[in-house]
Chain A
Amino acid sequence: MYDIIIIGAGPSGMTAGIYSGIARKKVLLLEKEAYGGQILKASCIKNYPGLDNVSGIDYAQKLYNQVKELNIDIKFESALEVKNYDKFKEVITNKNSYKTKTIIIASGAKNRKLGLNNEDKLIGKGISYCATCDGMFFKDKKVAITGGGRTAIDDALYLSNICKKVYVIYRQKEFKFDSINLSNLRKKDNVEFIFNTNIIDINGNEKLESIVLKENDIDDTTTLKIDGLFIAIGHIPVSEMFNNLIKTDEKGYIISNEECTTNIEGIFVAGDIREKNVRQLTTACSDGTIAAINACKYIENEKQTDKCI
């Protein structure tokens, strides 16, 4: 029986791992993909106090090493379901099931897809959700990026330094914010903005060949030949496997509070998967801290209760 099972090895999950490990708890950290989560996409972390120009990759590696030092079990398995019993809880994965006293859900968020035909088929064959991961393969080529948030702008700027041409496609008429990167992007000769326009089709068999664009309120469509399409239209929470037990809001974020508790005692939540307004690296680490400390407290309280009986 584990003391704490942490689902997800992004910054919040790994921070929870550090605190649980230091508290000498028996901990299992589950991750279904590469550890680090979304921070892996950051080419350079500029907003974490005390960190100076560290890449997301290096940061994730440091965190991982820190967790490993603490003798925590780390398994690359995908959590499929959590169950709550009287005296313990259980996590079912794609390979095993594990009993535990507490659970910290830190499953984060995944990339939002356009939801178009051929999108899944062409991932890694011209379609990407991570400019810093895959941008180098499009050196001197023509690419498009779709999205209107800060990530899309930062990624477009990154790509404009590598690619021959970058089309920035956004469904609204103008961006809703200003930033240094946006004003730098506007100065680039090889960047073309296509506003008020949606991508309605993706073409290609073995690799991406073109996308079909439609301007709002206009019937005609245009076909744009490109080598790469980067999709940066936000994220959706990864909580569907907990829906049977854990309450979420209408978007799928787990309902919680500053103590990182959920509707089930002994199950905590941390990071981007938690219902909140600010999702940053700093707040993810903060959640991981709080969830781990409260999980430890819960275990101690249960021990006391058992003694009374």
Chain B
Amino acid sequence: MKIININDNFDEEVRKYKGISIVDFWADWCGPCKMFGPIFENVSKKYDNIKFCKLNVDENEEIPKEFGIMSIPCIVMFKDGEEIKRNIGFIDEDGLNDFIGDLNV
């Protein structure tokens, strides 16, 4: 699925979304985030039923604060708008596939 930029519309795209979504919290000044970017994009192409989103923590400070994001890269998985798990720190494609796991989606 195509990656969606949700700096301004977290509520519409994630909180109100019925299904699985993953948000990549990132910033320009974060090296491992930049390294993780292409990995997130590659993996997103493999899953049709997961919504892949990116949120820049400099553009939107409120949502990271609400979810207690204090270190990036951080990916958070949501189901029907509720957080179900997260991973802090750089992971490669295998790591991201493991994180997604067997969701039967």
Contact = CB atoms under 8 A, between A and B. Distances in A.
B89 A124 contact: yes
- Interface magnitude class on chain B: 20 to 34
Interface in A120-145: 123-126, 128, 132-134, 136-138
B70 A137 contact: yes
A33 B35 CA distance: 11
A60 B32 CA distance: 10
A179 to B, nearest CB: 24
A167 B102 CA distance: 45
Given A33-B90, A95-B94, A137 B71 contact: yes
B81 interface: no
A298 interface: no
Contact of B29 (A36, A61, A136): A136
Given A34-B90, A124-B88, A124-B89, A134 B31 contact: no
B32 A34 contact: yes
A57 interface: yes
Contacts of B29: 57, 132, 136
A57 B94 CA distance: 23
A206 interface: yes
B31 A61 contact: yes
Contacts of A128: 70-71
Contacts of B72: 133-134
B89 A207 contact: no
Contacts of A57: 29-31, 34
Interface string A148-161: 00000000000000
Nearest to B64: A137
* Chain A, interface residues (CB within 8 Å), range: 20 to 34
Nearest to A126: B70
Most buried by A among B30, B57, B74: B30
Interface in A65-92: 76
Instruction: Pick the most buried of B64, B90, B91: most chain A CB atoms within 10 A of its CB.
Output: B90
Interface string A102-132: 0000000000000000000001111010001
B90 A123 contact: no
Interface in B25-55: 27, 29-32, 34-36
A254 B94 CA distance: 31
Nearest to B35: A34
Given A124-B74, A126-B70, A137-B70, A61 B34 contact: yes
Given A124-B88, A206-B68, A60 B31 contact: yes
Given A126-B70, A128-B71, A207-B70, A136 B57 contact: yes
Interface of A: 33-36, 40, 55-57, 60-61, 64, 76, 95, 123-126, 128, 132-134, 136-138, 206-207, 228
Closest 8 CB pairs of A and B: A57-B31, A76-B92, A124-B71, A34-B90, A124-B88, A34-B32, A137-B70, A40-B31
13 contacts: A34-B89, A56-B31, A57-B29, A61-B34, A64-B35, A76-B91, A76-B92, A123-B88, A124-B70, A134-B70, A137-B70, A138-B70, A207-B70
